[in-house]
Amino acid sequence: MVELDNAYEVSEDQIGPEAELSGVLLNNADLSESELSRADLSNAEIKRANFVRATLINADLSGVEAGSDTTFELAKLSGANLSGARLVGTDFSRVDADGVDFSESDLFGANLTGNYEYSDFSDANLKDANLRGASLIKCDFTGADLTDVDVRGADFTFSDISSATMGGEPVTLKKLENAGAATSRTRLPE
């Protein structure tokens, strides 16, 4: 279903694989179950947008601005670029997001309960994010802020968390384990 009542300069026939939507306003858009693989949504505004069960494989969402009313629940985001995006409070629950680039993104309070294997969270703000039960195998968290993140049941196996911080202090294996995360072979500072 595609509903674009409040979208700016976008018609329904512009939505699809490899769509060129860079910099457009897609606030309040219902793009649930849309096929947007390899689409360019870079620097778009997607506040209150619905991407439930959408397919955004290898899509460019770098620099997008979303919010707590934006949802990607059950979306397919593998290989997508969300670097430098403002995703405060955004719902990424139960997504399939292998190899996603979240580097330098603001994910404050975001719900990231899904599969993020091989994803890049380097230099991302994850303060107050929910990573509960997330699969974060072989992810890059170098320089990320993990202050007050819910990591209960999250799997950080083989992830690189060197130079990541929690409350301004370096992340340690003990801190992650005490918070309930699985950390087998996780790369942490000595």
What does each of the 190 residues of the chain score in pLDDT, given as a tens digit? 344 544 455 566 678 899 999 999 999 999 999 999 999 999 999 999 999 999 999 999 999 999 899 999 999 999 999 999 999 999 999 999 999 999 999 999 999 999 999 999 999 999 999 999 999 999 999 999 999 999 988 998 889 988 999 988 888 777 787 777 776 666 655 4
Q: Where are the domains of the chain?
A: 1-190
Write down the pLDDT at residue 185: 67
Class of domain 1-190 as given by CATH: mainly beta
Please say whether the beta carbons of 34 and 14 come within 8 A: no
- Tokens 């770098």, residue located: 62
- Burial environment of residue 62 by CB neighbours within 10 A (0 to 12, 13 to 18, 19 or more): buried
CA dihedral 17, 22, 27, 31 (to 10 degrees): 0
Burial class (CB in 10 A: 0-12, 13-18, 19+), 126: buried
State which H helix or E strand residue 165 sits in.
strand 165-166
pLDDT of residue 123: 98
> In this predicted structure, what is the pLDDT of residue 39?
97
* Bridge partners, 65 (sequence order): 45, 86
The residues with which 130 forms a beta bridge, in sequence order, are 111, 150
CB 72 within 8 A of CB 90: yes
